[in-house]
């Protein structure tokens, strides 16, 4: 990326015998909203701390805006950071919390006041500058933390699960707000989260981390619809998984055996007949009906079972089907037009080109 604001080159971090970040290469463009997504222990927060200068890499380099900052402390890197617990000073007002980084930089009073007015307006905190954190709602405290991270006009802003402690409704509101701030300011954001919905809602690109390494980097639509590994297929979105044996390859498709049933699935990368494979198909790619209605096996896979339960979610519902072998499969579908009842015999079916298959 010629316009990259951040470059990580073979960055590695070890804690004793544990490699938390393993030879990471990454470039992030100016104006990009980038999400680091992964489960707890995947290395995403350690990587953010390496970018911030809160940890030093054992190997590799960190380059921000064309400058090697690997050996520089956090205050010399020209970055902003927003933490999960906000870390507001309880004895300082909202305004004092926001301008704190400018005081550390010894900016003149007039410039501090000008930037504070800008930050308060941006974050919709007008009239709240004299309130203390304990006099503010969780959403207002979050906006103060964001304003503090942005007031110094950093080269990039790092956000470490900043919405984790908010309730669901407020979290949804702040997802929209944070993306609005980023698009308005065009400052690159690097957002760490284990919540796939947050990453998919806000980011332009996503890196899925697992065991200290990247499983896949790409546009959020690519990550969701075309997972590169079995881990990504299972972690991003909700998927049913079938483990079986590859029978044969034919063009872009393959046949796999799952407990005596033959399925037609997308061809796995490096798949070989006779090898073990895992096939993942997302809940929403499936349909459930009372019969097969003359399905062509070249176009659709189908499995018979019994409807065990319907989990109502508003406009959609999860239909839990027990297959003839006793295993369960989940179908996410619109509630409108489906009048299926528990204990009914049903068929789960889907287009053969959907889902992803992986050699295991």
- Residue-range definition of the domain harbouring residue 87: 4-230
Q: What is the pLDDT of residues 2-51, one digit of tens each?
A: 579 999 999 999 999 999 999 999 999 999 999 999 999 999 999 999 99
What CATH number is given to the structural domain containing 252? 2.40.50.100
Query: 163 and 256 share a domain?
Result: no
Q: Which of 230, 253, 270 is the last residue of a domain?
A: 230
In tens, the pLDDT along 92-113 reads 999 999 999 898 888 899 999 9
* ∠ CA 219-221-222, rounded to 5°: 65
- Residue 103 has a pLDDT of 87
Contact 133, 88 (CB under 8 A): yes
Helix axes 94-104, 109-122, angle to 10 degrees: 130
- Single residue among 191, 206, 230 that ends a domain in this structure: 230
Tell me: do 343 and 216 sit in the same domain. Answer: no
Q: Is 121 helix (H, G, I), strand (E, B) or coil?
A: helix
Task: Please give the average per-residue pLDDT across 109-132, as a whole number.
Answer: 91
Number of domains in the chain: 2
Query: Per-residue pLDDT tens for 188-235?
Result: 999 999 999 999 999 999 999 999 999 999 999 999 999 999 999 989
Closest to 22 measured CA to CA, from 56, 68, 67, 59: 59
Could you tell me what percent of the chain has a pLDDT over 70? 98
Which tokens sit at 328? 């369960």
């Amino acid at each position: 990326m010629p316009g990259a604001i951040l470059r990580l080159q073979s960055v590695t971090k070890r804690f004793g015998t544990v490699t938390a970040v393993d030879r990471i290469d990454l470039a992030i463009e100016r104006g990009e909203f980038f999400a680091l997504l992964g489960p707890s222990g995947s290395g995403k927060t350690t990587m953010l701390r390496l970018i911030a200068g809160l940890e030093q890499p054992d190997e590799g380099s960190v380059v921000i805006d064309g400058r090697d900052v690997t050996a520089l402390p956090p205050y010399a890197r020209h970055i902003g950071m927003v933490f999960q617990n906000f870390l507001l000073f309880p004895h300082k007002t909202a305004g004092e919390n926001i301008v704190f980084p400018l005081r550390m930089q010894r900016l003149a009073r007039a410039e501090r006041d000008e930037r504070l007015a800008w930050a308060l307006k941006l974050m919709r905190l007008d009239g709240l500058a004299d309130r203390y954190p304990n006099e503010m709602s969780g959403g207002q405290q979050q906006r103060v933390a964001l304003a503090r991270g942005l007031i110094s006009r950093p080269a990039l802003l790092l956000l470490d699960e900043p919405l984790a402690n908010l309730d669901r409704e407020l979290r949804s509101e702040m997802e929209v707000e944070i993306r609005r701030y980023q698009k308005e300011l065009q400052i690159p954001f690097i957002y760490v989260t284990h919540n796939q919905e947050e990453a998919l809602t806000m980011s332009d690109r996503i890196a899925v981390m697992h065991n200290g390494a990247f499983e896949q980097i790409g546009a959020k639509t690519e990550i969701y619809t075309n997972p590169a590994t079995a881990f990504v297929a299972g972690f991003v979105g909700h998927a049913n998984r079938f483990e079986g044996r590859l029978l044969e390859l034919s063009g872009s498709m393959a046949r796999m055996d799952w407990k005596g049933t033959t399925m037609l699935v997308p061809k796995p990368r490096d798949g070989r007949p006779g090898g073990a494979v895992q096939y993942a198909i997302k809940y929403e790619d499936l349909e459930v009906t009372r019969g097969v209605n003359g399905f062509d096996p070249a176009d659709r896979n189908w499995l018979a079972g019994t409807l065990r339960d319907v989990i109502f979610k508003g406009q959609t519902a999860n239909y839990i089907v027990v297959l003839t072998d006793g295993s369960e499969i989940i179908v996410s579908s619109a509630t409108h037009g489906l009048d299926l009842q528990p204990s009914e015999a049903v068929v789960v079916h889907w287009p053969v080109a959907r889902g992803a298959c992986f050699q295991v």
